């Protein structure tokens, strides 16, 4: 084992440089692909390419394990070199913690069906937090430590006063003590410094003085990069913190700025207010493929048509008078987050279908979003589940536009991309329909693990 470790650490300086370079490229690829995956613009633009990009992100993330493990074999020797360099020690710990944290949380998100919603929910929060904190740190670290910034000849503003710093000369007595450290500085910059030391020794100029810089270009660039990152990424990070750490993320705050103008507002049943589920646990993330639409009584209607005996259409005043029931269910997004114990109030899908009457030859039920773009479908057999609801209230309050209101579909036993937001039409069709995300590579059925179990409906009065 010792012999093998010795062989692994041979040429250790070059290996550290190589590991640093590979990690840099991996982080760049993960940053680009990750930001594209969460971007609303790219959701619509990439199509099926988004699914391929997701698998690239996962593959590169797993590949990050290799340089991390390789470094761990070199860590003890590297740590000895940094014994008198506390800032470099801190930097090494921070970067290593970021990489390991990204890797572990990413694996949980990759295997979210096996990990379960609670683990994947926590992993997504950690993954995002590490990204917003770690990515600016790594960008700042990378830019401010490029070779040209570290070149003393690049320093700009200087004084005429002599510096108290002196260029060191090679001291034979110290050669053995410094051998390990010098051995690791296997870069062009390090080589030039060593050559300069040798030249100064040959010319017997041990006390050559250099001007002391008041403000170097390196310091200026560090400040500029830091300010730039704070200005560009700061507001986005604050927004992310607000949405995920419960700053201004309640249903009440969404309703205060809700663009929907529906009159009258639905009045909750006794089981909704207070909510029979005790109140939702967790926080919704707002994902859309279009700008969030807004509705009023003038531009909203709801219809059931297609292969039915009695096609029907309602305006808002009529729809809000329909008899409603209450149920409690969890809400799971395929990206890894969940909201538990939601109290939904609305009309079971089965009631609409029974009242409309299904014609022979019907195969699927297709759902249309009021954004004019998004559609999805389930089979007629799946549509018989008791807990599929056309919801108009959440936890005793109207559903805001951010969460798909005034009316949205809720299918608790499938991932949320099936639960169409801004629902305004149900059509019974004679064939299979491939929904928006299924066209882009998502699973057609979207079943949750253990979804064969049918949860009973909880009816309010």
Task: Give the pLDDT of residue 230.
Answer: 53
Q: Which helix (H) or strand (E) holds 329?
A: strand 325-332
Summarize the confidence of residues 373-394 as an average pLDDT.
Answer: 96
Distances in whole angstroms, Cα of residue 115 to Cα of each of 110, 124, 345, 455? 9, 12, 30, 22
What distance in Å separates the CA atoms of residue 450 and residue 447, rounded to the nearest whole number? 8
Asked if residue 132 has pLDDT above 70, the reply is yes
The residue range of the domain holding 299 is 261-440
What confidence tens digit (pLDDT) does each residue in 338-350 have? 899 999 999 999 9
What confidence tens digit (pLDDT) does each residue in 365-382 have? 999 999 999 999 999 999
What confidence tens digit (pLDDT) does each residue in 78-126 have? 888 888 888 888 888 888 899 899 999 999 888 877 777 778 888 888 9
Asked if residue 190 has pLDDT above 50, the reply is no
Summarize the confidence of residues 154-170 as an average pLDDT.
Answer: 43
What distance in Å separates the CA atoms of residue 260 and residue 341, rounded to the nearest whole number? 25
Tell me what percent of the residues of the chain surpass a pLDDT of 90: 38
Q: What is the pTM of this model?
A: 0.65
Summarize the confidence of residues 443-458 as an average pLDDT.
Answer: 65
Which one, of 142, 140, 144, 101, lies nearest residue 232 by Cα? 140
- Is there a single domain that holds both residue 206 and residue 291? no
User: In which band, very low, low, confident or very high, does the pLDDT at 298 lie, cut at 50, 70 and 90?
Assistant: very high
Question: With b meaning 16 or more CB within 10 Å and e meaning fewer, what string describes 196-227?
Answer: ebeebbeeeeeeeeeeebeebbbbebbeebee
- Is there a single domain that holds both residue 332 and residue 184? no
Q: Which of 340-344, 394-398, 447-451 has the lowest mean pLDDT?
A: 447-451
- Is there a single domain that holds both residue 385 and residue 275? yes
- In a domain, residue 281? The reply is yes
- Is there a single domain that holds both residue 199 and residue 335? no
- In a domain, residue 64? The reply is no
- Is there a single domain that holds both residue 176 and residue 308? no
Task: Give the pLDDT of residue 302.
Answer: 98
Summarize the confidence of residues 40-69 as an average pLDDT.
Answer: 79
- Is there a single domain that holds both residue 332 and residue 426? yes
The number of distinct structural domains making up the chain is 2
What distance in Å separates the CA atoms of residue 336 and residue 111, rounded to the nearest whole number? 10
- In a domain, residue 161? The reply is yes
- Is there a single domain that holds both residue 205 and residue 282? no
- In a domain, residue 251? The reply is no
- Is there a single domain that holds both residue 329 and residue 406? yes
- Is there a single domain that holds both residue 316 and residue 434? yes
Task: Give the pLDDT of residue 195.
Answer: 43
Task: Give the pLDDT of residue 157.
Answer: 37
More confident residue, 162 or 30: 30
- In a domain, residue 77? The reply is no
- Is there a single domain that holds both residue 205 and residue 313? no
Within a 10 A sphere around the Cβ of 340, how many other Cβ atoms?
18
What distance in Å separates the CA atoms of residue 87 and residue 81, rounded to the nearest whole number? 13
More confident residue, 53 or 430: 430
- In a domain, residue 101? The reply is no
- Is there a single domain that holds both residue 430 and residue 323? yes
Asked if residue 305 has pLDDT above 90, the reply is yes
User: In which band, very low, low, confident or very high, does the pLDDT at 455 lie, cut at 50, 70 and 90?
Assistant: very low
- In a domain, residue 404? The reply is yes
- In a domain, residue 195? The reply is yes
Mean pLDDT, the chain, whole residue set: 78
Asked if residue 135 has pLDDT above 90, the reply is no
Torsion from C-alpha of 86, 87, 89, 91, nearest 10 degrees: 160
**Close Cβ partners of 173 (under 8 Å, ≥ 6 residues apart):** none
For residue 187, give the 3-state DSSP assignment: coil
- Is there a single domain that holds both residue 184 and residue 320? no
């Amino acid at each position: 084992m010792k012999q093998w470790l010795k062989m692994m650490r041979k040429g250790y300086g070059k290996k550290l440089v190589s590991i640093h370079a590979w990690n840099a490229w991996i982080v760049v690829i993960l940053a680009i692909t990750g930001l594209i995956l969460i971007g609303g613009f790219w959701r619509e633009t990439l199509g099926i390419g988004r699914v391929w990009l997701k698998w690239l992100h996962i593959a590169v993330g797993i590949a990050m394990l290799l340089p991390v493990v390789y470094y761990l074999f070199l860590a003890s020797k590297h740590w000895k070199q940094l014994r008198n360099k506390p800032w470099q020690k801190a930097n090494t710990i921070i970067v290593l913690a970021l990489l390991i944290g990204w890797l572990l949380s990413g694996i949980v998100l990759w295997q979210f069906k096996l990990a379960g919603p609670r683990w994947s929910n926590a992993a997504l929060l950690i993954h995002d937090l590490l990204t917003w904190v770690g990515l600016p740190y790594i960008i700042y670290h990378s830019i401010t430590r490029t070779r040209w910034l570290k070149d003393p000849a690049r320093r700009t503003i200087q004084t005429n006063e002599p510096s108290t710093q002196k260029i060191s000369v090679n001291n034979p007595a110290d050669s053995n003590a410094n051998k390990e450290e010098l051995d690791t500085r296997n870069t062009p910059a390090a080589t030039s410094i060593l050559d300069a030391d040798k030249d100064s020794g040959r010319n017997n100029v041990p006390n050559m003085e250099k001007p002391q810089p008041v403000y170097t270009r390196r310091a200026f660039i560090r400040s500029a990069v830091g300010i730039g990152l704070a200005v560009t990424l700061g507001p986005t990070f604050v927004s992310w913190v607000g949405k995920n750490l419960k700053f201004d993320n309640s249903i009440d705050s969404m309703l205060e700025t809700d663009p929907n103008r529906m009159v009258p507002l639905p009045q909750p049943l006794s089981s909704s207010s207070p909510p029979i589920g005790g109140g939702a646990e967790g926080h919704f993330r707002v994902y859309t493929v279009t700008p969030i639409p807004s509705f009023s009584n003038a531009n909203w209607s709801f219809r059931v048509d297609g292969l039915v005996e009695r096609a029907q259409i309602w305006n808002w005043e009529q729809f809000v008078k329909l008899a409603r029931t209450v149920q409690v269910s969890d809400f799971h997004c395929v990206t890894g987050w969940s909201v538990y114990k939601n109290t939904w109030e609305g009309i079971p899908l089965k009631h609409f279908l029974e009242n409309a009457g299904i014609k022979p030859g019907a195969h699927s039920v297709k759902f249309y979003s009021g954004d004019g773009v998004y559609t999805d479908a389930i089979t007629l057999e799946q549509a018989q589940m008791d807990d599929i609801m056309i919801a108009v209230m959440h936890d005793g309050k109207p559903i805001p536009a951010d969460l798909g209101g005034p009316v949205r579909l809720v299918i608790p036993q499938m991932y949320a991309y099936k639960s169409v937001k801004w629902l305004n039409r149900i059509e019974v069709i004679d064939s299979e329909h491939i929904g928006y995300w299924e066209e882009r590579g998502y699973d057609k059925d979207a079943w949750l693990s253990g979804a064969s179990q049918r949860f009973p409906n909880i009816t309010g009065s």
